Amino acid sequence: MSITHEDIALVLSDALQNEQLDEALATLKGLRPVDIADALELVEPELAWGLLTRLPDRAEVYAYFGPDEQVRLAQEFPAEVLAQLVSEMPSDERTDLFKRLAPEQQGRLLPALAKVEREDIRKLASYQEGTAGALMTSDYAMLRADMNVGQALHALRLEAPDAETIYHSYVVGEERKLLGVVSLRDLILADPSTKISDLMTEEVISGEVSEDQEDIARRITRYDLLALPITDGHGCLVGIVTHDDAMDVVSEEATDDFHKSAGVTTSVGNLKDAAIGLLYRKRVFWLVLLVFGNLFSGAGIAHFEDIIAANLVLVFFLPLLVDSGGNAGSQSATLMVRAMATGEVVIKDWLKLLGREATVALLLGCTMAVAVALLGFIRGDSMVALVLALSMVTIVMVGCVIGMSLPFILSKFNLDPASASAPLITSVCDAAGVVIYLYIAAQLLDEVSIV
């Protein structure tokens, strides 16, 4: 868009300060809820709240506010205004908000809601974060198998205002048992007298409430679905996950893995707004762990002190050799972690991939060995060059094998493969690298001094 949210916010502030509500509303005319939310978040809270409640699609706009704004706003509203707003929200976002509210606010809100909404919130809030249940909405379109197309379209017209999507309707029987799915496309193409039971697809792709949200998102992507029906343990329909929620999951999970790859533990939310303390806590763990992990490399160095003293040239290449293992290993780990995240690679592929990884590592190691041997020859002698070449090949291969195996080992123990982060690989490869390097040096360079 040409005009920014800052511009809109300025216009709004002016209008509202002069109590020209209609002007303010006119400014927002034709803007999408997410844009209105972004603009309103920049306006003086007191002014924004008055305007929000007068917007036709206020619930949608409110749903697009950041979590903190939503809660702050919720505290200011009188209970019935909040209840009104909340009852207009999609059931999944309504539940997310409810979970964020302080207990006393929850107590204030619940009585003001209609019984059906109260129970809906209680039910949805009971599902564990990160599962299909916590992601799904209960605002879906339902049909009965014995309806004909005409009746179905009539029913959908009634459900349309509340349902998140009417483009796919779910056909249910006794106790909401999921029997089939029918698309609005098929409905408007079919003859009005056709029975839904003859029109519906009976092989429904669905998910279960307890499933991981990543698996749900992956299924929606794989089958290019608009929404995935979610059933309880008994195959009864309890909600749907829509494609846009799945897309958010895909993006969030990618961000999490991305951060983990650099040893940033768990999500930091929007980086721009992240507090210093939060960023510190998220990052310090691996860094400090690495410091102590170095006890091992240090011990290794101490053990080979004499050979170092006798051949100080070895020190020139210590950082290089140590890093090379870590870098090559991180590459392997990153490739594996992402492939496991997108489902390209599963745990049983490990052995199959190990052989290929070793070959790639050998090639990489040899190439780097040539390069480092060159430097070694310039700075030292042919013997040093040999030590460096041998060490490089070994270290890179060890690094790659560790890097590619670690994600598998982690997920074998039901840990997140993405925890196989660069810092972790680096610490492990450091110790290994130092020992390999100096051990090889000790063997070869000792012999030399004897000759």
| Segment 327 to 356, residues that bind a second copy, using CB under 8 A | 327-328, 330-331, 333-339, 342, 344-345, 349, 353, 356
74 vs 336 by CB, closer to a second copy: 336
**Shortest distance (Å) from residue 126 CB to a second copy:** 26
3-state SS of 261-316 is HCCCCCCCCCHHHCCHHHHHHHHHHHHHHHHHHHHHHHHHHHHCHHHHHHCCHHHH
358 vs 383 by CB, closer to a second copy: 358
Contact 221, 241 (CB under 8 A): no
Among 87, 151, 243, 444, binds a second copy (CB under 8 A): 243
What is the torsion angle, in degrees rounded to the nearest 10, for the CA atoms of residue 415, residue 417, residue 423 and residue 425? 100
CA triple 29-31-36, angle to 5 deg = 105
Q: By CB under 8 A, what part of segment 246-285 binds a second copy?
A: 246-248, 250-251, 254-255, 257-259, 261-264, 268, 270-272, 276, 279-280, 283-284
Q: By CB under 8 A, what part of segment 157-176 binds a second copy?
A: 157, 160, 166-167
Position 123 contacts a second copy (CB under 8 A): no
Report d(CA 91, CA 99) in Å as an integer. 12
- Pick the stretch among 5-13, 71-79, 299-307, 441-449 that binds a second copy (CB under 8 A): 299-307
Among 6, 198, 244, 381, binds a second copy (CB under 8 A): 244
Contact 179, 200 (CB under 8 A): yes
Among 110, 290, 310, 444, binds a second copy (CB under 8 A): 290
95: closest CA among 229, 239, 211? 239
Position 151 contacts a second copy (CB under 8 A): no
**Shortest distance (Å) from residue 69 CB to a second copy:** 16
Position 317 contacts a second copy (CB under 8 A): yes
Position 405 contacts a second copy (CB under 8 A): no
**Shortest distance (Å) from residue 102 CB to a second copy:** 27
**Number of residues in contact with a second copy, rule: CB under 8 A?**
108
- Cα–Cα distances in angstroms (integers) from residue 18 to residues 22, 42, 50, 275, 396, in the given order: 11, 17, 13, 35, 69
**Shortest distance (Å) from residue 181 CB to a second copy:** 12
**Shortest distance (Å) from residue 300 CB to a second copy:** 9
329: closest CA among 257, 417, 397? 397
In degrees rounded to 5, what are phi and psi of residue 342?
-85, -5
**Shortest distance (Å) from residue 61 CB to a second copy:** 13
129: left (phi over 0), alpha (psi -120 to 50) or beta: beta
Among 42, 142, 371, 409, binds a second copy (CB under 8 A): 371
48: closest CA among 12, 85, 8, 18? 12
Contact 311, 406 (CB under 8 A): no
Report d(CA 139, CA 163) in Å as an integer. 5
Cβ-based neighbour number of residue 223 at 10 Å:
9
Position 152 contacts a second copy (CB under 8 A): no
Contact 8, 39 (CB under 8 A): yes
Site string for a second copy, 27-66 (x = CB under 8 A): ---xxx-x--------------------------------
Q: By CB under 8 A, what part of segment 173-232 binds a second copy?
A: 184-185, 188-189, 202-203, 205, 221-224, 226
105 vs 197 by CB, closer to a second copy: 197
Report d(CA 261, CA 56) in Å as an integer. 44
Alpha helices in 342-421 (DSSP H): 350-379, 382-412
**Shortest distance (Å) from residue 182 CB to a second copy:** 14
**Shortest distance (Å) from residue 361 CB to a second copy:** 9
48 vs 156 by CB, closer to a second copy: 156
32 vs 100 by CB, closer to a second copy: 32
Burial of 366 (0-12, 13-18, 19+ CB in 10 A): middle
Report d(CA 85, CA 64) in Å as an integer. 13
185 vs 412 by CB, closer to a second copy: 185
Which residues make Cβ contacts (< 8 Å) with residue 93, sequence separation at least 6?
63
**Shortest distance (Å) from residue 388 CB to a second copy:** 10
Cβ-based neighbour number of residue 415 at 10 Å:
12
**Shortest distance (Å) from residue 105 CB to a second copy:** 27
Position 430 contacts a second copy (CB under 8 A): yes
**Shortest distance (Å) from residue 422 CB to a second copy:** 5
